[in-house]
Amino acid sequence: MLRVTLRGVRAHAVRFLLSILAVALGVAFVAGTFSLRTMMSSTFDGIVDASAPADAYVRGATQVAGGDAGFSVGETRNPVPIALADELDDLDGVQIALPDVSGMVVLVGADGTAVQSTQAPSFGLSYDERDPGLTLVDGAMPSGPDEVALEIATLESSGLALGDETNLVIGGEVRQVTVVGEVDAGGPMAGATIVLLDPATAQAAFAPDGNVAQIAVFGDEGVTESALTQTLAAALPGLDGGSDASAVEGSQMREALQSDIGEMLGFVTTFLLIFAVIALFVGAFIIANTFAMSVRQRVREFALLRAVGASPTQVFSVVVGQAAVVGLVGSALGVLGGLGLVQLVRVALSGMGMDLAKDIPLSTTTVVGCLVLGTLVSAVAAAFPARTAALVAPVEAMRGDITVHERSLRLRGVLGVAVAAAGAASVVAAAIKAEADFADALLGLGATLVLVGVLVASPMLARSAMRFLAAPFVALLKPVGRLARGNVVRNPRRTANTAGALTIGMALVGAVSVIAASATASLSSVVESSTNADLILQSATFAIPQGAVDDVRDLPEVGKVAELAFSYAGVSPSPGVAPTPQDSGGVVSLEPGVLGSTLLVDVTAGSTDDLADDTALLNTDFAGDDWAVGDTVTVTTATGTRDLRVGALFESQIIGSSVVVTPAVLDELAPGEAQVIDTVTLDAASGVSQADLRAAVTSAVAPYVVVSVQDRDEFVDEMAGQVDQLLVILYALLGLSLVIAVLGIVNTLALSVIERTREIGLLRAVGLGRTQLAGTVTVESVLTALFGTVLGLVVGVGLASALPTVYADEGLDQLVVPWGGLGTMVALAVVVGVVAALWPAIRAARMRALDAIASE
């Protein structure tokens, strides 16, 4: 039977071509995702090796709560004194001990704008000429506060050259500096902007209190990491400042950092794999449809196999085996396509300044996994058509006119409606019980059941829907419209299966469109109801320099200034419970009186006027509902711990942190670089117009390069722009499933033309012109595309409409349906239908009438 299987594939290669392409596209996404993840992991592993090359590290002995809520790399520990490095230098076996002095800077490039690459950080480092991890390539090492050296990639992307003068924002101030050196940091930095400073300047800016996070220790030649670490551990208790420090091997530090990065990259992998699964699922529709039509056309072939002694199981295995061959070939092409996809991504990221590893990794596991996945998907998709082929009776081979008897759609329709109804009930239950912990799971289950139910019932829906969708074509295009409607209604299973791939893609597109529009409207509502400030300052680096705030505050045109400084810290998960290292939350500092005046919040208990140096205000949107006024909340950072009385409880989405404290408290808990100014709101002084205020503020912050000045409408537009950027990414990923759906329509129409060869010949014989015949095929395609699109959009919009009810507490409280965008999707479906019909329509029109009539 293996020979029969392979001969069948070879004989019908053209029929299976688009199925192979569909599998290849889906598998390419899977292979590309894993390869991209491996390449990114390899790149960041190289960065870790280059940025943490020491043999051992001395750091705080105690891991404390804080960090940045799961987005940091490495642990948060108590700091150690810089002076400890000098004592470590004198130990036997130690070549050099270098304190890690670094912080955020903004470098102005040759074009007068900030040097930035994607979302990569921009930071300054202390440059010690003894550091083995840094190599001076050209020029000289920086000396004094007005000289800097730049990492190789940073120098190139900045457009600067040795000897050029530029501005550097450091420590919240603008400083004019000269580029005196070019430094190799030991490997590609994935787009990070790295500025090297002399040790005294770096310490004054980033470690004014004399403490650092860690000290890198390099051992003498021949000293192992283990031996060096043991020496450090034994000596630390006797050193000044070493009693609260510990030593760790460099390899252990690097493994921990790489593990943290791997977890962060795991999200990217999962996100992309979701769309890969969607693509493969959509591709399965094409395969199922292809083999269903193939079985219909090859009934006599299978009957003859049965007549010469093949068992039903053998016939079943022939069809499934042919599908497996299609899947295997498509998977192999998909693996190659995945490599090309990753190469394109690497080139695109390189153009944006983010260099990844040069080699595109492709492990044996990835190759084998992709081949098995594509083959299994194809085989499973062909199982039902294979069952039909296996049940063909041998007597069918004797008949002159062979037909496949199909079951009634009634049972399938009832089952599909029941499943969809159960899903809708689950969605409604999630909306009613939105505050329950299981609401998310209930909503996801309901959405899945609705989509599955609609797909199951779609053949029954197709018959009813086509009466309305085809009405304009029947009225305007005679007799083409009537013929096309009859063809798509004659076999509703085929129509529904062909449109199913498009239904899935459009359901996701419709849901995403509603979510994006609703999120934008909700954001606008939150901003308008949360602040009445005239202007809002933000930074492209997410940190506004302190000097910019001070300069703005000194302007005579500026009245009230509200400065939101932010830091991550450990926050009590509930009253009376000390935070653990995993209980990270955001802490914001505000001057007393800002809440309730400049920033408007919904106070649920107490009074915001009670904010003081011994009290805190809790945002229950992030801290939870277990709190009451008078409770004690513990806030812990690497530099200290404070127990604060809860003075008030409030709800706010615009203040995205759980705790509000005074600036004095935050300065104590997170001094210097440990806190950032996230947002500043401004009101005009009495008698000053908003235009004059804006002109003065814009001029004041211009030297800081990264600070933007916006009114409330512009602030909302910027946030909406970020939503739109995400939307573009989602549409691009969903576009793959839509491309596969289009291939499905082309495939079905092409096979349908082959199946209806004699019918086409008879139509031509009774006077149907070539143009009319091509038009009939085109209208069939358009109707199929319209059915899938409209059905998918109805499902997607309907499901997404429940989200504002379920996630109202998270800020998604507005429902907006973008009718214009959805209308564009419907119009696009017509275009898709026309494009998909080109090849099948031309092929049908070129058939000779007599040859078609005489065909078997």
Q: Which residue has the tokens 């400042």?
A: 241
According to the model, what pLDDT value does residue 188 have? 65
Rounded to an integer, the average pLDDT of 607-631 is 88
Whether 431 is covered by a domain: the verdict is: no
According to the model, what pLDDT value does residue 71 have? 42
590 and 522: one domain? no
State the pLDDT confidence band at 306, using cuts at 50, 70 and 90.
confident
According to the model, what pLDDT value does residue 74 have? 62
Cα distances from 98 to residues 95, 122, 219, 639, 852, in angstroms, run 10, 21, 12, 21, 85
739 and 828: one domain? yes
Cα distances from 689 to residues 180, 502, 686, 708, in angstroms, run 45, 54, 9, 19
Rounded to an integer, the average pLDDT of 666-684 is 87
The domain boundary residue, chosen from 399, 422, 445: 399
pLDDT at 695 over 90: yes
Rounded to an integer, the average pLDDT of 49-57 is 81
> Which runs of consecutive H residues, i.e. helices, occur in 52-115?
84-89
Whether 94 is covered by a domain: the verdict is: yes
Q: Which residues of 468-591 form beta strands (DSSP E)?
A: 535-539, 558-571, 584-589
- Write down the mean pLDDT value for the chain: 82
According to the model, what pLDDT value does residue 9 have? 60
Question: Minimum mean pLDDT among 220-224, 446-450, 609-613, 840-844: which range?
Answer: 840-844
According to the model, what pLDDT value does residue 53 have? 83
More confident residue, 42 or 311: 311
Rounded to an integer, the average pLDDT of 47-76 is 70
pTM of the model: 0.73
Can you give the C-alpha Rg of the chain in angstroms?
Answer: 33
The domain boundary residue, chosen from 399, 415, 433: 399
Residue 221: which residues within 8 A CB-CB, separation 6 or more?
Answer: 95
830 and 737: one domain? yes
pLDDT in tens, 580-592: 877 778 899 998 8
**Secondary structure class of 847 (helix, strand, coil):** coil
Whether 837 is covered by a domain: the verdict is: yes
84 and 232: one domain? yes
More confident residue, 50 or 715: 715
State the pLDDT confidence band at 15, using cuts at 50, 70 and 90.
low
Rounded to an integer, the average pLDDT of 266-280 is 73
Query: How crowded is residue 74: how many other Cβ atoms within 10 Å of its Cβ?
Result: 16
The domain boundary residue, chosen from 344, 370, 399: 399
572 and 466: one domain? no
767 CB burial (10 A radius; 0-12, 13-18, 19+): exposed
pLDDT at 403 over 60: no
pLDDT in tens, 83-136: 999 889 888 898 999 999 988 888 999 988 888 765 567 888 998 888 888 889
How far apart (Å, rounded) are the C-alpha atoms in residues 590 and 460? Answer: 61
State the pLDDT confidence band at 812, using cuts at 50, 70 and 90.
confident
Cα distances from 377 to residues 54, 280, 291, 397, in angstroms, run 48, 7, 13, 31
Ranges 266-280, 639-653, 729-743, most confident = 639-653
pLDDT at 433 over 90: no
According to the model, what pLDDT value does residue 400 have? 46
pLDDT at 285 over 70: yes
Number of domains in the chain: 4
588 and 517: one domain? no
pLDDT at 149 over 50: yes
Whether 663 is covered by a domain: the verdict is: yes
752 and 698: one domain? no
pLDDT in tens, 344-374: 777 766 665 566 656 666 677 888 888 888 8
232 and 103: one domain? yes
579 and 720: one domain? no
701 and 561: one domain? yes
267 and 347: one domain? yes
> Could you list the residue range(s) of the whole structural domain that residue 564 is in?
535-710
Query: How crowded is residue 289: how many other Cβ atoms within 10 Å of its Cβ?
Result: 26
pLDDT at 5 over 70: no
Query: How crowded is residue 296: how many other Cβ atoms within 10 Å of its Cβ?
Result: 19
**Secondary structure class of 636 (helix, strand, coil):** strand
Whether 415 is covered by a domain: the verdict is: no
Whether 445 is covered by a domain: the verdict is: no
pLDDT in tens, 819-838: 888 898 888 888 888 888 88
Whether 384 is covered by a domain: the verdict is: yes
526 and 552: one domain? no
Q: Are 748 and 500 in contact (CB under 8 A)?
A: no
More confident residue, 243 or 696: 696
Query: How crowded is residue 588: how many other Cβ atoms within 10 Å of its Cβ?
Result: 21
Task: Say what percent of the chain tops pLDDT 70.
Answer: 90
Whether 775 is covered by a domain: the verdict is: yes
Task: Say what percent of the chain tops pLDDT 90.
Answer: 17
Q: Are 183 and 137 in contact (CB under 8 A)?
A: yes
Ranges 284-288, 783-787, 841-845, most confident = 783-787
